[in-house]
Amino acid sequence: MIGAAVILFKPDSDITYDLIESVLAQVDVLCIIDNSPLPTILNIPKDKLHYHHFPNNIGVAAAHNMGIRDLRTSGCEYALLLDQDSQIDDDFAFRMSSLLVASKIKKRPLVAIGPRIICSFSEKSVKPRVQREISVYDNLVCVTQIISSGMMIDLSKIDLIGFKDETLFIDGVDHEWCWRAKTQDYMVAIAENIEMIHKLGDARSKFAGITYKVGTPIRLYYQFRNILLLSRRDYVPSYWKTRNILVLPIRFLANSLLQTQKRKRIKFMLCGLCDGLLKRDGAFHEHW
């Protein structure tokens, strides 16, 4: 059985509802975890949907864990994780699960796969500048990490790796889980021939000739804090630590000088740096 968990947070576009209808037609169980202040109205029969509403926003990691537990209890072997602003083809779930099944038959140590991401802003395939491909086989490119939206997990291996790290709340959750899987000698991979359109950030901006993602001010808190928290962990790749720590001053300047809501952004970045140095995790409102 294949299940899917879709995470919602104030969905306001037709893309979300198109995604839910598409997923519903492709999986055996659909679990929706809604972190919005008010419940999202969905015109879907209750017997086809597992709906969980958390008005106080439990974070992405906890939402993923809720979905994974729900799908596993329902008897699903594979769990597809999706954000509300992703767009998938009609045979997406089948093609992804087929690759995982084939890999399991061949006894490959593969725990999760993701699609090639097409950025909704540029309409181009997203290719990491630093992350290197580890190996390639059967239309699968083994990599260090993949993003959570579009990720399909082999649930039989979840107990060995563990669930998502809820202390991180949101940013870095997907990568941290992939790095932790590697400590158990499992791999994650990108399906070379399967694409998914996904919205990365809320907008794009340019600083010193470099185009970067622009998100909401509060996301800066989690981004800055989690870089400092994750950089202390020995299983986190050295290239990731070096790159992100070196870029922190540039990101601080760019968000302080070039974006709207400058004071708000500075506040969240400073709070993130403070909590990162003090090793405080969880949700922002628990500390400020």
Q: Do residues 122 and 245 both lie within one domain?
A: no
Q: Do residues 52 and 118 both lie within one domain?
A: yes
Q: Reply yes or no on whether the pLDDT at 112 is more than 90.
A: yes
Q: Do residues 133 and 27 both lie within one domain?
A: yes
Q: Do residues 223 and 165 both lie within one domain?
A: no
Q: pLDDT tens-digit profile of 127-153?
A: 666 566 677 878 899 999 999 999 999
Q: Do residues 154 and 212 both lie within one domain?
A: no
Q: Do residues 177 and 74 both lie within one domain?
A: yes
- The residue out of 149, 169, 198 marking a domain boundary is 198
Q: Do residues 141 and 257 both lie within one domain?
A: no
Q: Do residues 116 and 210 both lie within one domain?
A: no
Q: Do residues 91 and 27 both lie within one domain?
A: yes
Q: Do residues 193 and 211 both lie within one domain?
A: no
Domain count, the chain: 2
Q: Do residues 152 and 254 both lie within one domain?
A: no
Residue span of the structural domain in which 263 resides: 203-286
Q: What rounded mean pLDDT belongs to the chain? A: 91
Q: pLDDT tens-digit profile of 175-192?
A: 999 999 999 999 999 999
- The residue out of 156, 176, 198 marking a domain boundary is 198
Q: pLDDT tens-digit profile of 52-97?
A: 999 999 999 999 999 999 999 999 999 999 999 899 999 999 999 9
Would you tell me how many other CB atoms lie within 10 Å of the CB of residue 160? 11
- The residue out of 198, 228, 258 marking a domain boundary is 198
Q: pLDDT tens-digit profile of 240-251?
A: 999 999 999 999
CATH code of 182's domain? 3.90.550.60
Q: Do residues 165 and 55 both lie within one domain?
A: yes
Q: Reply yes or no on whether the pLDDT at 238 is more than 60.
A: yes
